[in-house]
Chain A
Amino acid sequence: MKYFEDVRVGDTFPVGSHTFTAADIKGFAARFDPQLFHLDEEAGARSHFGALCASGWHTAVAWMRLMVDYRRRLAEAARSRGEPVAGIGPALGFRELKWLNPVYVDDTVNYASEVIETRLSNSRPGFGLMSFRTTGINQNGDAVISFISTTFVERRPDI
């Protein structure tokens, strides 16, 4: 990740994509969201979703994993060029999370995160706060999730 000063509103990160298999969906639901429409094909078919679908939390945490991996790739590339790597996190939270469409078995969701706001931190002088709007779009082009998260990003030490 770049330093706070090196990121602009409008910068967009192609975070990556995840495919939700039936085993993946049921395994997550059994641990964290054991509602029948996330656990069982027949119960999913009887529900208003019409088929087994992923917990919304699963759709959200899949982004987090991809984002961590994406940042790690950026950091490794920067280090290989001899450039410093800015610290990021923790996050303060998120808002306006919308589960726009169900994620069904074998759907592939492609996530991107756009910087929508930057401001200096009052409490942490070495850090700025950055807000991202993340959107996840399935293989049919339909948005399935969007949310705005806010996280600390380290400032350039020379400023």
Chain B
Amino acid sequence: MPKLHWEDFQKGAVAVYGPRLVTREEIVAFAAEFDPQPMHLDEAAASATMLGGLAASGWHVCCLIMRVIADGFIVNSSSMGGPGIDEVRWLKPLRPGTRIRVRATVLDTRPSASRPQMGLVKFLFEVIDDADSTLTTLSTTLMFGRRPAEAPA
């Protein structure tokens, strides 16, 4: 598969990456390391919280989006990282045993004003489950290298 450059992203394009099965073990392991709150660690403690049962850390969901899109297209691209995240909304809990996909919509693309070798792509990433419910949304702008003139497409 040819390496993706900024020119390959078109406004309005939609792609779906995954699926990725999220296990109880990885939810608890992530929480133990990075977000050790009871609602992410233990069923009994979690059922007493607003989440109503064990659910993944929201930061874990973000990291899963990153991994799914990395495997989906970022690693095979001229990615230069991103300057930040516009917004993340944790809409619904991510429960153990959920199979997630990440829907990527290109909202906009523009060349970089300051760096001619770079372009910017604004994405909406949505984590969706098998019932097509949206669990989390993440909007961000990512930076990609532009295709060198002499490189094959």
The interface residues of chain A lying within 8 Å CB-to-CB of B107 are: none
- Chain A 127-153 near chain B by CB (<8 Å), digits 1 or 0: 100000000000000000001000010
Task: Name the distance in Å between A121's Cβ and chain B's nearest Cβ.
Answer: 10
Question: A93 and B67: CB pair below 8 A?
Answer: no
Is B39 part of the contact surface with A, judged by Cβ < 8 Å? Answer: yes
Question: B-side binding surface: helix, strand, loop or mixed?
Answer: mixed
A75 to chain B minimum Cβ distance, whole angstroms, is: 12
Please indicate the chain B residues that have their CB under 8 angstroms from the CB of A3 in the complex: none
**Alpha-carbon separation in the docked complex, A126 to B85 (Å):** 30
B75, B83, B88 pick with most chain A CB within 10 angstroms: B88
A34 at the interface (CB under 8 A from B): yes
Cross-interface CB contact of A35 among B50, B63, B70, B83, cutoff 8 Å = B70
Q: Is the CB of A61 within 8 A of B49?
A: no
Interface size class of B (residues with CB under 8 A): 20 to 34
Contact with B along A19-40 (1 / 0, CB 8 A): 0000000000001111101000
**16 additional contacts (CB under 8 A) given A56-B82, A68-B35:** A33-B66, A33-B67, A35-B70, A35-B81, A55-B66, A57-B59, A61-B59, A61-B63, A65-B34, A65-B36, A89-B39, A89-B49, A92-B90, A96-B86, A99-B83, A124-B50
Chain A positions near chain B (C-beta within 8 angstroms) = 31-35, 37, 47-49, 55-57, 60-62, 64-65, 68, 87, 89-99, 124, 127, 147, 152
- 10 contacting pairs across A/B (C-beta < 8 A): A32-B64, A35-B81, A65-B35, A90-B50, A94-B87, A96-B87, A97-B84, A98-B84, A99-B83, A124-B50
